[in-house]
Amino acid sequence: MDEEKKFSTNEKSGEKVTNQENNSVSRRDFIKIAGAGTIAAGFGGPYFLFPERAQAQQKTLKIIQWSHFVPEYDKWFDGVFTKQWGEKNNTNVTVDHINLTELPARAAAEVSAKKGHDLFMFLSPPAAFEPQTLDMAHVYQEVERKHGKKIDLAQKSTYNPKTRKYFAFSDSYVPDPGNWYKDWWAEVGYANGPDTWDDLRTGAKKIRDKNGHPCGLGLSQELDTSMAVRALLWSFGGAEQDANGNVTINSKQTVDALKFMKALYQESETPEVFTWDPSSNNRAMLAGKTSFVMNAISVTRQAEREHQPISSKIMVCRALKGPVRRMAAEHVMDCYVIWNFADNKDGAQKFLVDYIDAFHDVFTNSQFYNFPCFPSTVPDLKKEIANDPRADPANKYAVLGDVLDWATNVGYPGYATAAIDEAFRTWVLPTMFAKVARGDETPENAASAAEQEYKRIFARWK
Amino acid sequence: MSEMGESSVTVAEAVKSSRSGRIRVRRAGTAQDPVLGTLMFAPAVLYLLAIIGVPFVLAFIYAFSDIRIGSNTIHFVGLANFRSVIQSPSFKVALQNSFIFTIFSQIVVIIGSTILAIALENAFRGRGIIRFLILLPWVAPISLGAIGWKWILDSLYSVINWVLVAVHLYKPYSAPMWLGEPHLAMASVILVHSWRLLPFSTVILLAGLTAIPKEIPEAAEVDGAGFWRVLFEITIPMMLPIISVAVLFGIIFTFTDIAVVYILTAGGPFDSTQVLPSLAFFTGILSGDIAAGAAISLFLVPLLVIIAYLMLRVAARAEVS
């Protein structure tokens, strides 16, 4: 449509020049005509002279996403996939990478300016941005037509049941397993590492008492801690909200989880867990300083990539089983949004559909970091991760084969709403657990204080 | 200022008697033309309006509205946002921490900068280099400095802890967690912020110190006053107006600072270093509740207005004296 307008504008300009040329033209008129022609050419670009080129006008697709924890993925995404996609679709694709912690502020700036990228990738469900995003139902429909149903984790993370709108499209999630130091756990009788929260408490204490190495379950105001304490809470039967979005944090199950955390901290941890940022537990594990952390496989992948001798010592385990269930949050949830004000909405939607078509490449180039939200795109997932040539031993990641049995969304058993997101980003749960762990607050009082804060936040997003 | 005005008039008169009328008019216009004066002043006014005025007005509007990060419309909600944030335990802690952070860092800065100013007043070999080094934290971007301190105080790679363990003052795994214990974390952010503000305050005090007529302390010394008596009974009382200026600037810089807390602790451990600017950022920008974020950020405005008023009055007195 825009191209048609450009054509008509140029034709009119051209016609005008011709008519003027038929009359006698003064010097002043000539300058006027030349000026008008220049302006017209400026608006119409080269299509003024070569109209056929307008039909093949190259579009632009601007993407912004995090700097991936596995750098090889970014190399493939920027240098191979987007290039090939751009050539195939006559589109100039630009990809900007920023640090994961800067994503929300950048999104806020783009929304405020009503200008920015066509595709914006969040690492957690961006429910608060819903009024500014395109409904992704059509993208999901098209992808599901080709690849079957999405997993429940994606549904709960990108759908608002009240407005019946998909405010984002999730292509993948990242499991959040435990990482444990093989030799130390074997020395205290856990050759296969901890399997339950009780194993963690007992084994971590033995290791701490034996050789001084602390447990590394974070208690700080950061992403990894937020996921770890949610895993603990759910495993004990507690939750922030119920399936209908009612606050349920103040429960006996929460108090039990808090008591467990206090015991674990006082028996096996040091105050360093209060200082951590998202990369601190990676460093602590790779430095051989800590016996257990909860993190994505970025820890082990870094050790493999840098050929660190410790690589073969760090093992991966499923989410720990608690008194009620075995459950952990996704470590990060890839959520692409298309802003209502994006310049190339059609291109962005097509890109996502094509991206899922190529998801097996995503899976392999992310070195099994990104797990598919459409399982049929990686049909032999279990087989592939059970025999990884980079891993030592090769079946190190086999335990992630049943990840969908124990991975869930932030906000479980409800949806990942804007209120849940605010509670997540203002660190209500890490604060509750940390205060109890240090003995600054009783479990009962901490749960009660958290309930008040959740209710206050939920009231603000009604 | 008045001297400069007189001198321009004198030059203008000299020019008037010796050169063309055109030049004469231009020189006279520099001093008196209101249009030219307004034009010269306009960029500064526009800058203040665009960078400070507009966001300030927007913050007021947002604080009394129901705006969220994705909102397409906003509605007036009265004081609801203020009532809501007051109920938040994080807000109460942040308010208290803002005062602790500001008061203690100003005490450290003023004591430190007074000592430095006195030490640097007299000429000695290498004074220029030392002045340059002291000024560095102020001229370097605060984010870089804070990241440097984050590594110095890191739980795993702290060079301080490495030394403490190496000299057997602490065992491995038992060295202080500078950013992990609430009091140590608060002390750390106070000290890093003081490190940042020290050069600014030192330069101000140094200027004030050099303005004190030398005859007064010299006369006191002749009368038998020692160093400490001269310091506490002559030098510091005479510097009080300029110290007040440094303190008031420091208070405003500290109350409104987010960089040091955000980079070093992100408000942790468990909100024990959370201050109002960082809480406003977490709530308003990262969580999308712009209205609550604006309400948090406006809580200190009345206090800051009073401080700014006092600052201007003290600065005016200092100028007169």
- Cα–Cα distance, B248 to B106 (Å, whole number): 9
pLDDT of B25: 45
Q: Please judge whether B177 and A270 are an interchain contact, meaning their C-beta atoms are less than 8 angstroms apart.
A: yes
What is the mean pLDDT of the segment spanning A279-300? 94
Residue A285: list chain B partners with CB under 8 A: none
Give tens-digit pLDDT for B59-97: 999 999 999 998 888 899 999 999 999 999 999 999 999
The reply to whether A17 touches chain B by the CB within 8 Å rule is: no
Say if CB B321 and CB B241 are below 8 A apart. yes
Q: Report residue A458 as tokens.
A: 């939920």
CA nearest to A261, candidates A450, A453, A431: A431
Give tens-digit pLDDT for A91-107: 999 999 999 888 999 99
- A300 lies in the same domain as A194: yes
pLDDT of B308: 81
Say if CB A218 and CB A228 are below 8 A apart. yes
- A184 lies in the same domain as A303: yes
Say if CB B283 and CB A426 are below 8 A apart. yes
Percent of chain A with pLDDT over 90: 82
Residue A104: list chain B partners with CB under 8 A: 285-286, 288
Q: Report residue A267 as tokens.
A: 């028996």
Using DSSP's 3-state secondary structure scheme, residue A49 falls into: coil
- Cα–Cα distance, B142 to B152 (Å, whole number): 15
What is the mean pLDDT of the segment spanning A278-283? 91
- Cα–Cα distance, A319 to B188 (Å, whole number): 36
What is the mean pLDDT of the segment spanning A432-450? 96
Q: Please judge whether B282 and A426 are an interchain contact, meaning their C-beta atoms are less than 8 angstroms apart.
A: yes
The reply to whether B173 touches chain A by the CB within 8 Å rule is: yes
CATH assignment of the domain containing A299: 3.40.190.10
Within a domain: residue A405? no
- A372 lies in the same domain as A293: no
CA nearest to A245, candidates A160, A316, A180: A160
Q: Report residue A447 as tokens.
A: 């749960």
pLDDT of B139: 85
Within a domain: residue A402? no
pLDDT of B9: 41
Helices B127-139 and B182-210 cross at an angle (nearest 10°) of 130
pLDDT of B268: 86
Decide yes or no: CATH 1.10.10.10 for domain B85-320. Answer: no
- A146 lies in the same domain as A204: no
- A309 lies in the same domain as A375: no
| End-to-end Cα spacing for chain B | 15
What is the mean pLDDT of the segment spanning A188-208? 97
- A241 lies in the same domain as A318: yes
The reply to whether A444 touches chain B by the CB within 8 Å rule is: no
Within a domain: residue A393? no
Within a domain: residue A160? yes
What is the mean pLDDT of the segment spanning A439-451? 96
pLDDT of A46: 45
- For chain B, the residue count is 321
- Cα–Cα distance, B200 to B109 (Å, whole number): 9
Maximum pairwise Cα distance, chain B: 84
Residue A34 pLDDT > 90: no
pLDDT of B318: 60
Q: Report residue A299 as tokens.
A: 């820890």
- A32 lies in the same domain as A98: no
Say if CB A104 and CB B285 are below 8 A apart. yes
Residue A426, min C-alpha distance to chain B (Å): 6
- A165 lies in the same domain as A267: no
Q: Report residue A303 as tokens.
A: 């050790």
Number of domains chain A is built from: 3
Residue A19 pLDDT > 50: no
How many Cβ atoms sit within 10 Å of the Cβ of residue B209? 18
Residue A412 pLDDT > 80: yes
Q: Please judge whether A105 and B283 are an interchain contact, meaning their C-beta atoms are less than 8 angstroms apart.
A: no
The reply to whether A269 touches chain B by the CB within 8 Å rule is: no
Which chain B residue has the Cα nearest residue A270? B173
Residue B157: list chain A partners with CB under 8 A: 283
Say if CB B91 and CB A456 are below 8 A apart. no
Residue A267: list chain B partners with CB under 8 A: none
pLDDT of A53: 52
- A307 lies in the same domain as A454: yes
pLDDT of B30: 54
Contacts of residue A89, defined as CB under 8 A and 6 or more positions apart, other chains included, come to A59, A347, A350, A351
Q: What is the mean pLDDT of chain A?
A: 89
The reply to whether B149 touches chain A by the CB within 8 Å rule is: no
Give tens-digit pLDDT for A138-155: 999 999 999 999 999 999
Across the interface, which of A104, A427, A456 has its CB nearest the CB of B87? Answer: A456
CA A254 to chain centre: 27
What is the mean pLDDT of the segment spanning A239-252? 97
Domain with CATH 1.10.3720.10 in chain B: 85-320
Say if CB B185 and CB B273 are below 8 A apart. yes
Give tens-digit pLDDT for A62-82: 999 999 988 999 999 999 999
- Cα–Cα distance, B191 to B198 (Å, whole number): 10
Q: Which helix (H) or strand (E) holds B119?
A: helix B89-121
- Cα–Cα distance, B256 to B147 (Å, whole number): 19
Q: Report residue A280 as tokens.
A: 């601190």
Q: Please judge whether A427 and B87 are an interchain contact, meaning their C-beta atoms are less than 8 angstroms apart.
A: no
Across the interface, which of B70, B88, B90 has its CB nearest the CB of A128? Answer: B70
Give tens-digit pLDDT for A348-387: 999 999 999 999 999 999 999 999 999 999 999 999 999 9
Torsion sign over Cα A142, A143, A149, A150 = negative
Give tens-digit pLDDT for A306-333: 999 999 999 999 999 999 999 999 999 9
- A281 lies in the same domain as A424: yes
- A157 lies in the same domain as A188: no
Q: What is the DSSP string of B128-145?
A: HHHHHHHHHHHHS-HHHH
Q: Name the stretches of chain B with pLDDT < 50.
A: 1-29, 320-321
Which region, left, alpha or beta, applies to residue A239 given φ > 0 means left and ψ of -120 to 50 means alpha?
A: beta
Using DSSP's 3-state secondary structure scheme, residue A335 falls into: strand
Residue B269: list chain A partners with CB under 8 A: 219-221, 271, 274-275, 434, 438
Using DSSP's 3-state secondary structure scheme, residue A99 falls into: coil
Across the interface, which of A129, A273, A431 has its CB nearest the CB of B69? Answer: A129
Say if CB A368 and CB A192 are below 8 A apart. no
pLDDT of B12: 44
Q: Please judge whether A128 and B72 are an interchain contact, meaning their C-beta atoms are less than 8 angstroms apart.
A: no
CA nearest to A415, candidates A164, A221, A87: A164
- Cα–Cα distance, A124 to A129 (Å, whole number): 12
Residue A21 pLDDT > 90: no
- A305 lies in the same domain as A445: yes
Say if CB B175 and CB B165 are below 8 A apart. yes
Domain of residue A287 covers 178-328+419-460
CA A16 to chain centre: 55
